[in-house]
Amino acid sequence: MISSLATQAPLPLAYYRNSPSIYKTKPSTYFPRFFSVKTLSFPLFLNPSTNTSTSKAKIVFNLQGFLGPISSPAIRPLCSKSGEVGGMASSLQNQDSISYLTQREAAEIDETLMGPLGFSVDQLMELAGLSVATSIAEVYKPSEYNRILAICGPGNNGGDGLVAARHLYHFGYKLFVCYPKRTAKPLYSGLVTQLESLLIPFLSVDELPVDLSKDFDILVDAMFGFSFHGSPRPPFDNLIQKLVHLHSCGQMQHKSPVIVSVDIPSGWHVEEGDVGGQGIKPHMLVSLTAPKLCAKKFSGPHHFLGGRFVPPTIAEKYKLQLPQYPGTSMCVRIGKPPQIDISALRENYISPEFLEEQAEADPMDQFYKWFEDAVVAGLKEPNAMALSTTGKDRKPDGSTMGPLEAPAPSGILEKIWELFKKCLNFLKNFAFPSTKYEIRAFNLSSSRMVLLKGVNKDGFVWYTNYESRKARELSENPHAALLFYWDGLNRQIHGL
């Protein structure tokens, strides 16, 4: 469904210099100014799973203006990042440079933490469970992976799973817990009471569905940790086989639950890994304190390290090489993230219908309204916008640029303007390569993210540098395009 709306309002696009180092848009004093809302369009999407009609709206503004003459021949550069929106950088930890613990070393470190270093079991369990929960939330968002079953064993690994379940509940997931062999110690009884107070269901082994893939999106394997010896006994042997069976079935199904193992995939040898290759194949492994030797055999897509509590004395004694945790995070990824099938990335947009009659009569009023909504919603940098410019031969929409209808400057302004154009021609001829491909690229549209610094009835304001590419292109071709995109609201505004 496409609707149209046309109206007229003044909105120029021009540049002026207001200080030795900052430049911004301003109405030209002698160049024409045109503005019109070209179309208001919003295609309707149908979500087949919910049969819900959804919409995305796009307001298209037509902006025409002219680059005003420079008030001074002096041109000074800005900082290279001034006004630009920087991207986020993330460092990946090379797993070959990370230390791996033997079973004996892992036990000794736990004893030291809970002995001379003064940690209690419940402290370490709380930190470990929080690390598991944040690792899961880092990859599997509750909007897509909402139903979680935590399968908890009788020892500390099971306690980590109970703590993780509590945190995941508060993160917005729907939790279920299978805790078949409960430990009578007060610590574990308290964890159960905390989950029961949140009305989290506890399922017995008999109450579990035969096919776990139909009822759960994530299965947390918190049955056995690094201190486990021997072969799993009932009912855990059967539970492990259920998870193993899911892996083989998942290869034939379009979507099966993901398995997250806490510290050690249950049933694996702590040092040798999945001996025989018939064990659990988790999609995510959350190592605690430091990875155990079996983690080298982990081949799933997501390996995280949690438990941000290792003191320097322990790291020095065992010569631990551990990654730096980013910011205040309780987990850090080890190794490279999996390769992503770009064609499979798809969001189902569910938002209220937006009809033509709901739009403001004045397009600027509509912009103010949506911009305020983006600010109130707490979206990151709601004033970020994509600015597209192009060379002298074309507009940003790809059409050929027609003759400019504007009176030519006169007097000293004309001389300054001519000098500036000669400088630009010199830069293009001598400072830039001149192969046929690069000449063509010079005249194509270019885009970058900038920050809106002001808006009023006269236009949009942003800062730039006269020596930047966008300034050079705007000096030749005053046609530009702006795009605001507010992901959290499923809205965008596009101005030409």
Residues 264 and 142 in one domain: yes
Q: What is the mean pLDDT of residues 224-245?
A: 89
Residues 107 and 249 in one domain: yes
Residues 370 and 464 in one domain: yes
Q: Which of 47-56, 306-315, 470-479 has the highest mean pLDDT?
A: 306-315
Is the residue at 26 inside a domain?
no
443: pLDDT strictly greater than 60: no
What type of residue is 58? Answer: K
Is the residue at 373 inside a domain?
yes
pLDDT band, residue 328 (cuts 50/70/90): very high
Q: How many CB atoms lie within 10 A of CB 195?
A: 21
Is the residue at 53 inside a domain?
no
Is the residue at 410 inside a domain?
no
Residues 264 and 194 in one domain: yes
Give the integer Cα–Cα distance in Å for 396 and 270. Answer: 60
pLDDT value of position 410: 74
pLDDT value of position 73: 33
Residues 197 and 238 in one domain: yes
Which residues define the annotated binding site for (6S)-NADPHX?
156-160, 225-231, 263
83: pLDDT strictly greater than 70: no
Residues 228 and 364 in one domain: no
Query: Cα 341 to chain center, whole Å?
Result: 16
Is the residue at 354 inside a domain?
no
Contact, 166 vs 198, CB < 8 A? yes
pLDDT value of position 331: 95
Which residues define the annotated binding site for K(+)?
157, 221, 266
Residues 368 and 303 in one domain: no
pLDDT band, residue 41 (cuts 50/70/90): very low
Pick 129 or 495 by higher pLDDT.
129
pLDDT tens readout for residues 353-401: 788 888 888 888 888 899 999 999 898 899 999 998 887 766 565 555 5
Residues 222 and 285 in one domain: yes
Is the residue at 449 inside a domain?
yes
pLDDT band, residue 84 (cuts 50/70/90): very low
- Tally the domains of the chain: 2
285: nearest Cα among 275, 268, 178:
268
pLDDT band, residue 189 (cuts 50/70/90): very high
Check which CATH number belongs to the domain holding 448 and give it: 2.30.110.10
Residues 265 and 367 in one domain: no
Which residues define the annotated binding site?
156-160, 221, 225-231, 263, 266
pLDDT value of position 419: 85
Residues 151 and 261 in one domain: yes
Is the residue at 35 inside a domain?
no
Query: Cα 78 to chain center, whole Å?
Result: 30
Of 306, 337, 368, the one marking the end of a domain is 337
The range of the structural domain enclosing residue 364 comes to 359-393+439-495
Check which CATH number belongs to the domain holding 189 and give it: 3.40.50.10260
pLDDT band, residue 423 (cuts 50/70/90): confident
pLDDT > 70 fraction of the chain, expressed in percent and rounded: 70
Is the residue at 149 inside a domain?
yes
Residue 104: both structure tokens together: 């004996």
Residues 120 and 193 in one domain: yes
Rounded to the nearest integer, the mean pLDDT of the chain is 76
Orientation of helix 412-426 relative to helix 469-476, angle to 10°: 120
Q: What is the mean pLDDT of residues 310-328?
A: 92
Residues 288 and 384 in one domain: no
